[in-house]
Structure 1
């Protein structure tokens, strides 16, 4: 087990209260992290602290929502909007430690390559200085062999190539996270549903590793007006629910999550299908109910699908359907290409 994986395991056993956990995480970093893993360890600790704070805020907001029946419709909607943001933050917190681990690998070899470049540059400059003092080609050739200049020049080219690839991977991970997490302030803007699917699938890929293969079958869907931040949240809830259902089966081989997009009758359509355990008949009637969850205590608020339904059906004037049987679950949502909100 790697140092950072062991560190994350120790974080998971920490106290629930965010203030106590912050002190606990700080103590762990001082005792058990090395300089090479400090960046990833700090990112993971910050993610867990934010997740615990989000759970505390969510618990508080759950109490507010239960008392909201006596409030005006305007106040209820305001509380619900806050809950949407809190649920999104909690989901990001769960993913952040995995993303930090994914970042650690490319950053590690980039840092190692540039350390090698530093060492090589010293040898190159020593060679040049020696050449200035050398007389004759024969001695210069001897110095070239002594300092292994030919090997260094070839290795330098390879190192720059590897480093460029590493920076590209890091930039891609960060950009996908930022694209998913952007806050649109409730605005509807012209955008691409396929881009939202690709961004969200990339974000979930760290959680799906060794559990599920995420397959994207994207049709020719034109750009249209929708709230990208909210639809990203819907996609995250659906894909992550499928991955977690497959993970709960503890299968020997990876399952499959298939995300499709197409257009139909003036609607942009997206479906998320998995080959997991399915949803029981009694639970099918409650999947969109607030606070309903089959997950263990502390692993789900029961608000993900309820919020997703609200975003699609009420905010976007669309439709949401679910089908399930043993070995197959299919969620489908439809958004109007010509919006009237």
Structure 2
């Protein structure tokens, strides 16, 4: 037991033991401190100098502030210390010892959030980081604040104005791209002008397109503020000669941005009408240049302060960014307009080809009805004769003078006029005439359905089976002499589509099948088979013929515009091209064909059951 070492962890120490142990430890610490190098005042000064140099060399701004309280509420702060970065970033000098309210007298109103965040850190000791726009400096800052001791704060900051603006531009571009799907060119330009006003602190904004000859401008859009407050009812697309366009003309002639910060009362410079209830005191105009030609100009005006190069930069960026989208939108609208014109032209071409047939489809029942009416006229005349005879016999019977000879004479007249046949013919003539009227009505209704005009982007619920029936009615004269029609039309759900366009596709495909069969000059009729069906995603229609098929050498070209193997009398080569555009591009469906080994051609189209467009 004598050699056993007693460890404090094994036995509880008395208070006396604890005091002895503490004394021993203090002695050891003092001994080590004496052995260490002494820390002189110069070393402390060197440390502070190094610390100060480090802060000054920082790229970030630095401020050490003391919060000022009034009735225990934080109301202001004093700059205790700042670095060179602070002066460089903010442009403020000689701020040490000054209150922030001395530098920015209205900061409690304009930047209350900025003050609150610094006060909260100095009070709670909880650090914070945030981004904020300082109105007085016209800059964005990324700020980090921490508390070295209660009532004080250290704020480290860096300017992030460029990054914020580029973030804004990215967001703005995405917004414009999303808007482009469903907004007009005027709306896109107005949105851009609104943003240009906001970013430059302007109060009016205009966008003009420039004529190709560079000799006039046409107003396309104004900002929301300009439209509602300053120039309500401003006439759009009014051409303004260049010599009456002020500095807008200068921007076009010199192909550069132009500012006017000094000349007041320059209403006419922006082509502003007399009804505009404002006086233009400042303006900035930037041109949009493409291929060395001014295509548009965008301008803002009435900024409280003079415009500068930064304003030029951002309005130019916005104008060019939007123009790329607007130009694409204009090109798409022009393409849609041309496509609509081509569709209408091709439709009229088909109607022209079918005109004689449709006239025949109406004339046949009309002639039949006319013959029936002539028969009715003759029957009516004969019936009037026999009715007269009946009246005479009846009168004699009532007078008591009727003789057997009178009855014999009446019977002879009945036989001569064949009264029984007349009576039997009347219902048949009426039924046949009714069929003729129904046939004419069907043709007229089908013509009306096929010729009804819808807006090019209009989609309504439609039964494509009815479209096929109407098309077959219109085209009957074309196929009746060369082809038999077989239809298997399944019960279909309605689909959202443009009926006018879908019917045009059916007509194109059916007439193509007719022409294919006619090209064989066969003695017996060919067959055109039409089927419809659907699944969970699409509605389908196939139109098949037993004609010669499509040669492999030209299969790749059949959907190209103006490609045709027909003579000029039978087409211009637009039918399949337009059908492809209607089904695939406009309706997001599919259009394909196959040529079976046994001959003929099968065109199959599909249309989505749900069409988000």
TM range, smaller chain: 0.7 to 0.9
- 1:154 equivalent in alignment to 2:424: yes
Offset of residue 325 of structure 1: 4.7
| Cα deviation code 1:308-338 (max 9, x no counterpart) | 0110111111111122255121111111101
Q: For residues 196-207 of structure 1, what are the structure 2 equivalents within 5 Å?
A: 196-207=467-478
Q: When you count helix as a share of all residues, which structure comes out higher? A: 1
Match of 2:510 in 1: 239
- 1:143 equivalent in alignment to 2:410: yes
2:535 alignment partner, one of 264, 267, 273:
264
Q: Greater CA deviation, 71-80 or 308-317?
A: 71-80
Offset of residue 141 of structure 1: 6.3
Q: Distance in 2 between matches of 1:79 and 1:154?
A: 60
Q: For residues 21-170 of structure 1, what are the structure 2 equivalents within 5 Å?
A: 72-134=331-393, 135-136=396-397, 138=404, 139=406, 142-143=409-410, 145-146=412-413, 148=417, 149-170=419-440
| TM-score (ref. length: structure 1) | 0.74
Counterparts in 2 of 1:153 and 1:339: CA distance versus 1, 3 Å: same
1:295 alignment partner, one of 538, 563, 566:
566
Q: Distance in 2 between matches of 1:164 and 1:226?
A: 34
Q: Distance in 2 between matches of 1:167 and 1:297?
A: 35
SS in 2 for 1:270: strand
Offset of residue 157 of structure 1: 2.6
Counterparts in 2 of 1:267 and 1:113: CA distance versus 1, 3 Å: same
Offset of residue 288 of structure 1: 0.7
SS in 2 for 1:222: coil
Counterparts in 2 of 1:107 and 1:140: CA distance versus 1, 3 Å: farther
Q: When you count strand as a share of all residues, which structure comes out higher? A: 2
Counterparts in 2 of 1:254 and 1:150: CA distance versus 1, 3 Å: closer
Q: Distance in 2 between matches of 1:129 and 1:304?
A: 64
Q: Distance in 2 between matches of 1:141 and 1:163?
A: 36
CA contact under 8 A between 1:320 and 1:332: conserved in structure 2?
yes
SS in 1 for 2:345: helix
SS in 1 for 2:557: coil
Q: Greater CA deviation, 199-208 or 287-296?
A: 199-208
Match of 1:220 in 2: 491
SS in 2 for 1:261: strand
CA contact under 8 A between 2:358 and 2:475: conserved in structure 1?
no
SS in 1 for 2:475: helix
Unaligned 5+ residue runs, structure 2? Answer: 1-329
Considering Cα pairs closer than 8 Å and 6+ residues apart, tell me whether 1 or 2 has the greater RCO: 1
CA contact under 8 A between 2:533 and 2:540: conserved in structure 1?
yes
Match of 1:316 in 2: 587
Offset of residue 127 of structure 1: 3.2
Q: Distance in 2 between matches of 1:129 and 1:278?
A: 69
Offset of residue 228 of structure 1: 1.0
Offset of residue 232 of structure 1: 0.4
| Cα deviation code 1:19-62 (max 9, x no counterpart) | xxxxxxxxxxxxxxxxxxxxxxxxxxxxxxxxxxxxxxxxxxxx
Counterparts in 2 of 1:332 and 1:103: CA distance versus 1, 3 Å: same
Offset of residue 115 of structure 1: 1.3
SS in 1 for 2:595: strand
Offset of residue 287 of structure 1: 0.9
CA contact under 8 A between 2:353 and 2:570: conserved in structure 1?
no
- 1:250 equivalent in alignment to 2:529: no
SS in 2 for 1:285: helix
CA contact under 8 A between 1:210 and 1:254: conserved in structure 2?
yes
CA contact under 8 A between 1:290 and 1:306: conserved in structure 2?
yes
Offset of residue 98 of structure 1: 1.3
Offset of residue 299 of structure 1: 2.6
| Cα deviation code 1:165-212 (max 9, x no counterpart) | 222222222222222222223321111111111221222221112311
Offset of residue 162 of structure 1: 2.1
Counterparts in 2 of 1:306 and 1:141: CA distance versus 1, 3 Å: farther
Q: Distance in 1 between matches of 2:421 and 2:593?
A: 61
* Larger Cα-atom Rg: 2
CA contact under 8 A between 1:279 and 1:325: conserved in structure 2?
no
CA contact under 8 A between 1:127 and 1:144: conserved in structure 2?
no
SS in 1 for 2:572: coil
- 1:178 equivalent in alignment to 2:448: yes
Match of 2:578 in 1: 307
2:465 alignment partner, one of 180, 189, 194:
194
